[in-house]
């Protein structure tokens, strides 16, 4: 996707206005060596990219607020030799032009230029504490400026976590972001459809993972948004199972938590379905309980409700269902109060979703769950995980179910972005072509 420099410049202008004064410095992610001259796949820093649309490593954005706002980029210089090996680099001048910056400098000049930009500024904002090496470097610049005190130069006296502004702004998505998220959701939906069709007793979890990865790339996604979970049978009760190496057995459920990243935005989908295409009676009962919990939670995603409303709705339905299925005994209110339900449902019902799968943004404001507002994007992902135990009916042993969709809060409710087959009837029909 071509950079839309005006959109990124408008974001930076908003940040500068919110800051009012001082300097913000945001670096992109470093390249991470895997061994010798091989690197892990490169992924830019989400804050940096949200502000710039620029995806080369070794880059820093500096925003100067106040009477004379400035948008400044540091990036790598052109280098014929390196470009033969690694590919195109903009270089400061072309990047300044293409990404709508006022000034651009070579990345190598960061340690000489940055202290100058901090002189006589009241405040410095950066992402504090994420990377020790970066913290040390920032302190070095501050000390350089302090060293000029006798010449009448003042160093910033306030250090501010840039997340204060950036997280809040990233939390509410604009139209451009929602369009990218719809596409990530669409590609991921297609991948789940393909995976359901590919499952069969005797196949392997990794064969299903291969279907997912293939569909992501064929759809134009850069990468999976997170490591794919393809968990059959008892593995579905391991929340972060990623070995994906077990044979699929007749009669097992298969839980797939996998989704793509497109245009730097993540989807996050889970579906659970029978390997042989038909739910057993116990699997169906457990599945429809999670489905009902998800429907109640999605219904609770609307302006006027707060962050925890969907979770509270899901927990109530699930706890009642645990009693009805004979997994728990007692009064629903008491079982919720005492957290007894967490034996079978031990995670929360969702998280913010965006450039990061667990996206930026506070969940509480001033000690209270924050209200939902249009443009927020989140997952709704109730589950039920039943490990074998003497006090659990045997028909439910090793059943692990999660159903996860992505939703965007709208003015009147929410838009569900993801749509692989979900009801028992839809899944069984899709798996029996
Ligand atoms: N796939 C990560 C999550 O569901 O939170
Ligand atoms: Mn999730
Ligand atoms: Mn997930």
176-201, pLDDT tens digit by residue? 999 999 999 999 999 999 999 999 99
Residue 134 CB partners (closer than 8 Å, separation 6+): 27, 126, 127
pLDDT digits (tens, 9 = 90+) for 272-325: 999 999 999 999 999 999 999 999 999 999 999 999 999 999 999 999 999 999
Instruction: Tell me the longest C-alpha to C-alpha distance in the chain.
Output: 81
Half-sphere exposure in the Cβ direction for 41 (13 Å, CA): 6
Report CA-CA distances (Å) from 91 to 62, 77, 130, 342, 356.
17, 4, 27, 53, 27
Residue 55 DSSP code:
-
Q: What is the CATH number of domain 5-169?
A: 3.40.350.10
Contact indicator for 264, 44 with CB cutoff of 8 Å: yes
Residue nearest to atom 3 of ligand 1 (CA): 268
Alpha carbon distance 339, 331 (integer Å): 12
Q: What is the pLDDT of residue 364?
A: 98
Name, in order, each residue with C-beta under 8 angstroms of 47's C-beta and a sequence gap of 6 or more: 26, 127, 162, 166, 170, 360
Catalytic site includes residue 240: yes
Q: Which residues contact 143 (CB under 8 A, 6 or more apart)?
A: none
pTM of the model: 0.97
Judge whether 5-169 and 172-431 match in fold: no
Residue closest via CA to ligand 1's atom 5 equals 358
Q: Which of 130, 146, 246, 347 is catalytic?
A: 347
Tell me what the mean pLDDT of segment 92-112 comes to.
98
Fold for 172-431, please state it. Creatine Amidinohydrolase (3.90.230)
Residue 380 CA to ligand 3 centre (angstroms): 9
Confidence of residue 433 (pLDDT cuts 50, 70, 90): confident
Tokens of 15: 């940040």
Per-residue model confidence (pLDDT) at position 59: 98
Atom of ligand 1 nearest to the CA of 379: 4
Token pair in block for residue 209: 């993972």
- Domains of the chain, by residue range, sit at 5-169, 172-431
- Nearest atom of ligand 1 to the alpha carbon of 270: 4
Ligand 1 pocket test, pick from 379, 380, 383 with the greatest ligand atom count within 8 Å of Cβ, gives 379
pLDDT the model gives residue 77: 98
Continuous segment of H or E residues that includes residue 95: helix 92-98
Length of the chain, in residues? 433
Helix axes of 175-198 and 424-431: crossing angle, nearest 10 degrees? 60
Mutate to test the pocket of ligand 1, among 351, 382, 403 (most ligand atoms within 8 A of CB): 351
Any residues with Cβ below 6 Å from ligand 1, and which?
Answer: 226, 257, 268, 351, 357, 381, 404
CA distance 372 to 302: 6
CA distances to 189, 318, 371 from 296, in Å: 22, 10, 18
Angstrom distance (rounded) from CA 184 to CA 188: 6
Tens-digit pLDDT profile for residues 319-377:
999 999 999 999 999 999 999 999 999 999 999 999 999 999 999 999 999 999 999 99
Note the pLDDT tens digit of each residue in 200-213: 999 999 999 999 99
Q: In this model, does residue 3 exceed pLDDT 80?
A: no
């Amino acid at each position: 996707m071509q950079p839309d420099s005006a959109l990124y410049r408008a974001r930076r202008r908003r940040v500068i206005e919110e800051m009012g004064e001082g300097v913000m410095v945001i670096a992109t992610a470093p390249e991470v060596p895997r061994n010798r001259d091989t690197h892990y796949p490169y992924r830019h820093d989400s804050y940096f990219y949200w502000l710039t649309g620029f995806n080369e490593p070794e880059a820093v954005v500096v925003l100067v607020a106040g009477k004379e706002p400035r948008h400044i980029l540091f990036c790598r210089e052109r280098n014929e030799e390196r470009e033969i090996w690694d590919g195109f680099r903009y270089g400061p001048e072309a990047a300044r032009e293409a990404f709508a910056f006022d000034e651009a400098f070579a990345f190598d000049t960061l340690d000489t230029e940055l202290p100058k930009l901090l002189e006589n500024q009241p405040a410095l904002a950066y992402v504090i504490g994420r990377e020790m090496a970066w913290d040390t470097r920032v302190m070095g610049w501050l000390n350089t400026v302090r060293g000029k005190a006798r010449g009448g130069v003042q160093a910033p006296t306030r250090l501010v976590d840039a997340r204060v502004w950036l997280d809040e702004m990233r939390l509410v998505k604009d139209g451009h972001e929602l369009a990218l998220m719809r596409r990530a959701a669409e590609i991921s939906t297609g991948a789940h459809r393909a995976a359901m069709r590919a499952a069969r007793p005797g196949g392997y979890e990794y064969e299903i993972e291969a279907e997912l990865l293939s569909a992501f790339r064929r759809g134009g996604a850069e990468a999976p948004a997170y490591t794919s979970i393809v968990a059959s049978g008892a593995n579905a009760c391991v929340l972060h199972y990623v070995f994906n190496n077990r044979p699929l057995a007749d009669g097992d459920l298969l839980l797939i938590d996998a989704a793509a990243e497109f245009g730097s935005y993540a989807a996050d989908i889970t579906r659970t379905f029978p390997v042989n295409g038909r739910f057993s009676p116990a699997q169906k009962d457990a599945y429809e309980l999670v489905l009902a919990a998800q429907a109640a939670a999605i219904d609770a995603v609307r302006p006027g409700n707060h962050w925890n409303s969907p979770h509270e709705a899901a927990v109530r339905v699930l706890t009642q269902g645990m009693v009805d299925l004979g997994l728990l005994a007692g009064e629903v209110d008491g079982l919720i109060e005492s957290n007894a339900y967490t034996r079978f449902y031990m995670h929360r019902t969702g998280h913010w979703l965006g450039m990061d799968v667990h996206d930026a943004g506070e969940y509480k404001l001033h000690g209270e769950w924050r209200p939902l507002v249009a443009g927020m994007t989140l997952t709704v992902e109730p589950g039920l995980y039943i490990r074998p135990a003497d006090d659990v009916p045997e028909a439910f042993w090793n059943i692990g179910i999660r159903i996860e969709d992505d939703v965007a809060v709208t003015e009147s409710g929410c838009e569900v972005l993801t749509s692989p087959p979900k009801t028992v009837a839809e899944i069984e029909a899709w798996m029996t072509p």
